């Protein structure tokens, strides 16, 4: 899993552990792209919107993560030109990426449930 992604967490509404986010970047990318094809800036915006600004990535660090997933055959990309004339590189999941996305989601849910179970013991 890509470990180098730098994520900064806003102070609002709650401070999240930076380390906690580190290992979850690929999962976020895979899950967002499982909804629809997106380009880099759009992925960032969507992550911010869905997390209500909890995730505020250093946006440039998204690209090495995207390219690593593409190198591993989980993503494919395609250039398109927007109405504004700006070029967009849209990423989409491959079958391998889709499978990985499901696996990661399952293991994440398992992990969260396990952590919650321990926490509720308190």
DSSP letters spanning the chain: ------EEE-SSS-PPPHHHHHTTHHHHHHHHHHHS-B-HHHHHHHHHHHTTT-EEE-GGGHHHHHHHHHHTTSEEEEEEE-TTS-EEEEEEE-HHHHHHHHHHHHHHHHHHHHHHHHHHH-
Q: How far is the CB of 117 from other proteins (least distance, A)?
A: 35
| Cβ closest to other proteins, residue 59 vs residue 113 | 59
| Cβ closest to other proteins, residue 2 vs residue 105 | 2
| Cβ closest to other proteins, residue 90 vs residue 105 | 90
- Mark 8-37 with x for binding to other proteins (rule: CB under 8 A) and - for no binding: ------------------------------
Q: Which residues between 62 and 101 bind other proteins (CB under 8 A)?
A: 63-65, 67-68, 71, 79, 86-89
- List C-alpha distances in Å: 95 to 43, 72, 98: 20, 12, 5
60 interacts with other proteins by CB under 8 A: yes
Q: How far is the CB of 44 from other proteins (least distance, A)?
A: 8
| Residues in contact with other proteins by the rule CB under 8 A | 4-6, 39-41, 58-61, 63-65, 67-68, 71, 79, 86-89
């Amino acid at each position: 899993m890509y470990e180098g992604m730098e994520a900064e967490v806003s102070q609002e509404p709650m401070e999240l552990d930076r380390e906690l986010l580190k290992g979850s970047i690929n999962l976020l990318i895979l899950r967002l792209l499982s909804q629809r094809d997106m380009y880099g800036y759009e992925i960032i915006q969507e992550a911010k919107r869905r997390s209500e600004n909890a995730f505020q990535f250093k946006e440039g660090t998204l690209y090495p993560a995207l390219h690593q997933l593409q190198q591993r055959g989980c993503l494919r990309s395609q250039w398109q030109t927007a109405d504004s004339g700006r070029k967009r590189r849209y990423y989409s999941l491959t079958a391998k990426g889709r499978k990985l996305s499901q696996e990661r989601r399952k293991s994440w849910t398992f992990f969260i449930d396990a952590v919650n179970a321990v926490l509720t013991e308190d």
